[in-house]
Amino acid sequence: MKSSVLGEVYSAFNTKELKELDKYLKNSVWNSSPILIQMHEFYLEMVNNNKWDSQSKEDLYRYIYPNEHIFSDGKLRFIQNRLLGALQEWVILNQLKLNNQFCEKIWRDFIIQKKLKKNIQMDLNKKNDVVTNSENYLLNKYFKSQEASFFEIQFQRNHQEQFDKIIDSIKSSQEFADLTFLKNYCILLQYQNLYQSKSHELPIEKLEEIKQRYNSNQIVYIHTYILLIDLLTHKKEEDYFHLKKIFLEQINSWHKDEIHAIINYLINYTIQKTNSGNANFIDERYEIYLFLEKQGFFELEGFVDFRTINNVVLIALRKKELIWAGQFLEKYINLLEGDIKLNCYHYNLARIEYEEKKYKSSMRHLLKVEYNQDLFYATNSKLLLMKIYFELNEFEAFQSLALSFKSFIKTNKILSDNYKNAYFNFIKYAKKVYNASYSQKKKLSHELTQNPNIVEKNWLIEKCK
């Protein structure tokens, strides 16, 4: 039932949203339908206790109609459609509270259609201090320019003002279209870089036309995305630092979702530079994380997920900032929920305690990681456990894990061949280093330096010293 229409919707809500939805349904006109409320409670029970696999639509029917013995699909669908309507109403009312421009446009279209002069004037004079994403900002600017153009034509007699308002509306529509083009161009470049797919002909002439249309003092959103395209296209360090400077100076003008997205672009660039051997970009990444922490962005709803915590802890450990790594983990782990929270907590605590040379304690935390929940935790927990056995000189455990780890990687259908080879190389060289003499370690160190595709290469080289 999780893949049904209502199942998808209920699964998409977080704990806070489910509580607010429950409160709304039971304190509104919908509460006058006991059958609808019962169906809602059935879905709540499934999502809160993860009972999707054990329930069917027949179970749902028996729950809301306990005294009926003949299943009626039509009767069930009628109540399901009513409940879906209630959910849609609740979502729309929430968006109205958040000043969603599309909700506002419904009212704007109404007052324009009815030619309500004073209401249009009031709407035009209303200031919107809510920070929205760049696309919505420019779209709302276009909507208001249309409203202003209508007002001038309908109620005023100054032909020059009428002409100017029409031109403003055309410019606003162009700005929105240009921004949409730039954002999609960034996504296209990201996919090409990520998957190294066959290069397609890009609309470069259109891009150059947009670049010529704007200077850096006009619209910060458009300027920023032009800089991002330059970075994704040319991958130059000066493009990275230029984008970073402009973006961080104007960061409070951006919505949290776009802050997250553009920060990820910057972080991904630092990862690429670090992987290519430029250790200075570890410091760059660390500085970005410190900035986000200082500005309070990690505390914004939806900004932190388990990957964010993994990445921040990793860089903190590379910087030997073990105390800050532990403080960050403890501060933000409660933003996660369910099994992923426990996996993230125990895995990262194990990493921190490994760096503190508390190998036994680190091992105890690794034993609490559920390998079937996420491939990242499965592979990296096994890798860390191999390093612990190495440090503790537990030969039999080390060899046994090396064998089972290799089999796990080999049979995995998700990992790419490149990642598989990187793990295979780690296992191979870890075994060689474990058994090597001093003179053999010097030779192995040179081999490792020449091999670009090994996870934990720096650790292996360190163990050769």
Q: What is the pLDDT of residues 326-359, one digit of tens each?
A: 999 999 999 998 889 999 999 999 999 999 999 9
Distance from the Cα of residue 391 to its chain's centroid: 36
Longest Cα separation, the chain: 93
Q: Residue 181 phi/psi, 5° resolution?
A: -60, -45
Distance from the Cα of residue 84 to its chain's centroid: 27
Residue 200 carries which DSSP code? P
Position 199 pLDDT exceeds 70:
no
User: In this predicted structure, what is the pLDDT of residue 215?
Assistant: 76
Specify burial of residue 272 (Cβ count, 10 A radius: 0-12, 13-18, 19+).
middle
On whether the CB atoms of residues 286 and 316 are closer than 8 A, the answer is: yes
Residues 52-78 have pLDDT tens digits of 888 899 999 999 999 998 999 999 999
Residues 385-431 have pLDDT tens digits of 999 999 999 999 999 999 999 999 999 888 888 889 999 999 999 99
The arithmetic mean of pLDDT across residues 294-305, rounded, is 88
Rg of the chain, C-alpha, whole Å? 28
Q: How confident is the model at residue 99 (pLDDT cuts 50, 70, 90)?
A: confident
Whole-angstrom Cα distance, residue 319 to residue 325? 10
Q: How confident is the model at residue 453 (pLDDT cuts 50, 70, 90)?
A: confident
Specify burial of residue 153 (Cβ count, 10 A radius: 0-12, 13-18, 19+).
middle
Position 193 pLDDT exceeds 70:
no
Which amino acid does the sequence have at 245?
A: K
Q: Is 235 helix (H, G, I), strand (E, B) or coil?
A: coil
Position 210 pLDDT exceeds 90:
yes
Whole-angstrom Cα distance, residue 87 to residue 40? 10
Which amino acid does the sequence have at 193?
A: N
Least confident window among 254-258, 289-293, 317-321 = 254-258
Counting DSSP H helices and E strands in the chain, the numbers are: 23, 0
The arithmetic mean of pLDDT across residues 89-117, rounded, is 90
Least confident window among 200-204, 303-307, 427-431 = 200-204
User: In this predicted structure, what is the pLDDT of residue 130?
Assistant: 64
On whether the CB atoms of residues 57 and 14 are closer than 8 A, the answer is: no
Does this model's pTM top 0.85? My answer is no
User: In this predicted structure, what is the pLDDT of residue 200?
Assistant: 64
Every domain of the chain and the residues it spans: 5-133+140-152, 394-465
Whole-angstrom Cα distance, residue 224 to residue 246? 7
Residue 287, CB half-sphere, CA atoms under 13 Å: how many?
Answer: 11
Q: Which of 452, 439, 149, 83 is nearest to 276 (CA)?
A: 452
The arithmetic mean of pLDDT across residues 251-255, rounded, is 89
Q: Which residue has the higher pLDDT, 449 or 333?
A: 333
User: In this predicted structure, what is the pLDDT of residue 41?
Assistant: 95
Whole-angstrom Cα distance, residue 441 to residue 463? 8
User: In this predicted structure, what is the pLDDT of residue 339?
Assistant: 83
On whether the CB atoms of residues 386 and 401 are closer than 8 A, the answer is: yes
Average pLDDT along the chain = 91
The arithmetic mean of pLDDT across residues 133-141, rounded, is 90
Percent of the chain with pLDDT over 90: 69
What ranges in 100-158 are assigned the alpha helix state H?
101-113, 117-125, 134-155
Number of Cβ within 10 Å of residue 47's Cβ equals 19
Residues 14-41 have pLDDT tens digits of 889 999 999 999 999 999 999 999 999 9
Q: Is 77 left (phi over 0), alpha (psi -120 to 50) or beta?
A: alpha
On whether the CB atoms of residues 328 and 312 are closer than 8 A, the answer is: yes
